[in-house]
Amino acid sequence: MSRWLVAPQEFKGTLTAAEAAAALAEGLRQGAPGVELDVAPLADGGPGTVDALLAGVGGERVTRTVQGPLGAPVQATYGLLDAGRTAVIEMASASGLSLLAPGEREPRRTSTSGTGELMRAALEGGCERLILGLGGSATNDGGMGALAALGYQFLDEHGAPLPPGGAALRRLARVDPSGRHPRLAQVELLVATDVTAPLLGPDGASRLFGPQKGADAATVAELESALARFAEVVAPGLAQAPGAGAAGGFGYGLAALAGGKLVSGYGMVARTLRLAERLAAADVVLTGEGRFDRQTALGKGPGALAREARALGRRTVMFAGVVAPDADPSTALFDEVVEVSALAPPGASHAEALRHAGVCWASRQP
């Protein structure tokens, strides 16, 4: 019996990875009922990471009321795996861009405080390993808000605590770690990033990602200066580390002050889901995401899975909501690219369209 690994990532803004995997698998079963399916929703450290890991290995979902990016309360969730020994937090759940209306985006003031509150809850729940996914942030505060929620003090030259938000880091004189949460030093802290951006420079946190969070040119310059001051005070040598610029410098703050280890979000998810073992057992690998573009073709997200699958000689297929003009499927890592929108019946929901594409593709397989 042929075995197909079904491992899509989220269809951003429409379907979570788990929803996409369920819809695609249903269509594949209808089109090829004799095939054995192994379903493993993917994520890369950004939104959907908790869902993907809970769907892949099982666990418990915990909900807390915490501060949102601008201080208003939000309901945020995190996952507990391995009978509570591992906690998985998406910062997007508490400090994400999706929590703000376009007119509310203000990276000078947005804070990671709510994510720190989730981290504190997980620590006090007794976890031994804490995985923090940094994608989808609304913030540019270097993780100051989260670290303050964990007991660090960010002080100006007069010894007064800085207010929330990345702009305040311009006045940072010193960081006092004496009040940090005692369990922080007792856990393995993995900082899962979906980008390799450094903290500073043209490809850094403020200049590359600030505009999508609402920063104009003057604000970008102000935030760049603030993060440069942060690095000068804390650990200048880490500013260029790959992933330091993730989530508005949150990666840097956790690595420099909390002993966080910067890791590939996709790699972390792949190890947790035992993807290498599951790839080896598969005959065909089917992945997907909402938009197939140059980033996918270069190997990000599903492209990374495809690269590993091709190294094992496995046939790889991409189901894309749409194929962007900058994507060239002929030079990509996939044997076939299926554009879901081109096959969708009129009026179909996103899930129905993906399910239909699965039926169509599976039905024509030998």
| d(C-alpha 187, C-alpha 61), whole Å | 20
What per-residue confidence (pLDDT) applies to 44?
A: 84
Q: What are phi and psi of 87, to 5 degrees?
A: -110, 135
Question: Pick from 212, 204, 256: which is nearest to 230 by CA?
Answer: 256
pLDDT in tens, 42-82: 988 888 889 888 888 889 999 999 999 999 999 999 999 99
Query: What is the token pair recorded at 83?
Result: 């009978």
Domain limits of the chain? 3-42+274-363, 49-266
Model pLDDT, residue 294: 72
> Considering the chain, what percentage of its residues have pLDDT values greater than 90?
82
User: What's the confidence (pLDDT) of residue 331?
Assistant: 59
- The pTM of this model reads 0.85
At the top level of CATH, the class of 49-266 is alpha beta
pLDDT in tens, 248-307: 999 999 999 999 999 999 888 998 899 999 999 999 999 999 988 876 765 667 888 999
| Domain 3-42+274-363 architecture | 3-Layer(aba) Sandwich (3.40)
If pLDDT is split at 50, 70 and 90, which confidence band does 173 have?
Answer: very high
- Report whether 22 contacts 51 (CB < 8 A): no
